[in-house]
A = this chain, B = another copy of it.
Amino acid sequence: MIDGSILIGQGARRSEASFRAYDPATGAVVGPAFSISGGQDVADACALAADAAGVFGSLAPAVRAAFLEAVADAIAGIGDMLIETAMAETGLPRARLEGERGRTTGQLQLFASVVRQGDWLDATLDSALPDRVPPRPALRRMNLPLGPVAVFGASNFPLAFSVAGGDTASAFAAGCPVVVKGHSAHPGTGELVARAVRKAVADCGLPEGVFSYLPGKSHELGAALVADPRIKAVGFTGSRGGGLHLVEIARKRKEPIPVYAEMSSVNPVIILPGALADRGIELAGAFSSSLTLGAGQFCTNPGTIVAVDGPALDIFVGAAADALAGVEPATMLSAGIAAAYAEGVAALDRNPAVERASTERGAGHNRCAPALFDTTAEAYGRDASIGDEVFGSAAIVVRCRDLAEVAAVAADMEGQLTATIHMDRRDMDAARTLVPLLSGKVGRLLVNGWPTGVEVTHAMVHGGPFPATSDNRSTSVGSLAIARFLRPVCFQNLPDEMLPPALQDANPWHLSRRVDGERRAVAANMPPAG
């Protein structure tokens, strides 16, 4: 079932050159030699995608929803081989991957329900005013898909943010064909999922160009994909360097295109004095759990704790260090990620303005020993490198003189995916001051929780101001992610039979539409006068 092919539409091909996958726990080779996609493969996949865009983009909602569900079913249908392959390629434990599989199929099903519901089309009708001077023509607007989307698989979610993850699901939901550049750390997992997706494409009778899968390792492959003129948007989750590189390529095209890159975040957690005094030890335990979940390899990992200095903070730090000492070092996703983590931790160890709060210990092959550091707000403000994200279970405590300095640290922060406030009743005034400040910095603001665990719902925002993402007007998780791949088009004075169904008088898709400024329920959705 996994033979290392490049999957372009319903075709499969192999390259002469190849690369291998490795079990990060052992370094052993996993699976066959994988093909390396080249320029012709990119061009062929994009050409097929462009051919498919018209048909796929104009499917009735029910048909596209059924396709999303077919993709979910096909992934579920792979069975345990998917879990075992992903375990071998990523070092992630079975329970995590089974959960992630459920999240992956669940988000495909969520988008199916969103597509069926139809509000994403934003169908808007303004009546003609033939008696006005000058007469006003009939104007009708809806969202159309942008066209073929390039999706970059992320290493840290081999299922939920890879081949058929959130970017692919939301692009499909919007009506955009997808060309995936697979992540080189889990190519077998990627191929299994890709084969499931294209089976769904075939089973639903859709044009083959709706989906292609390009395995490979090089930056050149991704660059060629983003540069292809038939690609109209990009979804990416990964490093800041990688994301900004794609943004730059997209900008230099003859026709620049949007890049939705979800890049980096240290997810500050502010513990206010009341909460710190009342339940510092409890918070330390919960912090340790959130920090070490999945070896800390989450975009929303709580990498920075901000609090007022004092004995209560000492107790918190001590308890957190103790808790972290009890966490078994976990295998990281790849040798490269483990090496980067070790270097990030070493840089903080070398920094004279930073103290190590947790015990140093050996981690083992490609494993992540949790690390907690301690510094002052003054040092944190002076040396920007202290605030850099260390991907993995490393965090830093920033000790502030007072609440004003807590607010100043928050105000100086770059854009973040999340920020969190821990508070008790007596912290209410301080918390109220922080809410507007923090909500200007983040995509998601939490109270008395931990940022890991990103729910796939309607209200979720997994996004935020630069450099958390390259486009702060969007989310990559949750139903609003569909909006990234749509644009509005107005149709003026078209004969009814030439209009897309979403805008026709008879409302054949049974949409709730906005007519002359008023939202109409489906039942009340009569065509406008004129």
Chain B's nearest CB lies how many Å from the CB of A476? 12
CB neighbours (8 Å) of A491 from chain B are: 439, 444-445
CB neighbours (8 Å) of A466 from chain B are: 255-256
Contact B487 A447 (CB under 8 A): no
CB neighbours (8 Å) of A497 from chain B are: 428
A13 at the interface (CB under 8 A from B): no
A461 at the interface (CB under 8 A from B): yes
Known: A126-B459, A473-B487, A492-B447. A255 touches B465 (CB 8 A): yes
A449 at the interface (CB under 8 A from B): yes
CB neighbours (8 Å) of A448 from chain B are: 493
A486 at the interface (CB under 8 A from B): yes
Query: Contacting A126 at CB < 8 Å: which of B117, B457, B470?
Result: B457
Contact A489 B447 (CB under 8 A): no
Contact A124 B459 (CB under 8 A): yes
- Of the stretches A83-91, A136-144, A307-315, the one at the interface is A136-144
A455 at the interface (CB under 8 A from B): yes
Chain B's nearest CB lies how many Å from the CB of A285? 16
Chain B residue nearest to A420 (CB atoms) is B492
Tell which of A119, A475, A492 has the most Cβ of chain B within 10 Å.
A492
**In the bound complex, CA of A489 to CA of B444 (Å):** 6
Contact B439 A144 (CB under 8 A): yes
A1 at the interface (CB under 8 A from B): no
**In the bound complex, CA of A272 to CA of B442 (Å):** 52
A192 at the interface (CB under 8 A from B): no
CB neighbours (8 Å) of A251 from chain B are: 251
- A 464-482 contacts with B by CB, 8 A: 465-467, 470-475, 479-480
Query: Contacting A498 at CB < 8 Å: which of B54, B447, B461, B512?
Result: B447
CB neighbours (8 Å) of A117 from chain B are: 517
- Hey, what's the 0/1 contact readout for A435-451 against B, CB within 8 Å counting as 1? 11001101111111100
**In the bound complex, CA of A276 to CA of B435 (Å):** 62
Chain A interface size range = 35 or more
Contact B139 A457 (CB under 8 A): yes
Contact B58 A436 (CB under 8 A): yes
- A 174-199 contacts with B by CB, 8 A: none
A147 at the interface (CB under 8 A from B): yes
Contact A455 B139 (CB under 8 A): yes
A337 at the interface (CB under 8 A from B): no
**In the bound complex, CA of A124 to CA of B125 (Å):** 24
**In the bound complex, CA of A489 to CA of B416 (Å):** 12
Contact A258 B473 (CB under 8 A): yes
A530 at the interface (CB under 8 A from B): no
List 20 other contacts, CB 8 Å, given A435-B498, A445-B489, A447-B494: A117-B517, A119-B519, A124-B458, A136-B455, A141-B458, A141-B459, A146-B472, A147-B440, A255-B415, A255-B465, A258-B473, A428-B498, A443-B489, A444-B490, A458-B514, A458-B517, A461-B490, A465-B487, A473-B488, A475-B490
Which A residues form the contact surface with B (CB < 8 A)? 54, 58, 113, 117, 119, 124-126, 134, 136-137, 139-141, 144, 146-147, 251, 255-256, 258, 414-415, 428, 431-432, 435-436, 439-440, 442-449, 453, 455, 457-461, 463, 465-467, 470-475, 479-480, 486-495, 497-498, 512, 514, 516-517, 519
Instruction: List the 7 shortest-distance A-B pairs measured between CB atoms, nearest first.
Output: A461-B490, A139-B459, A141-B459, A444-B490, A446-B492, A126-B459, A126-B457
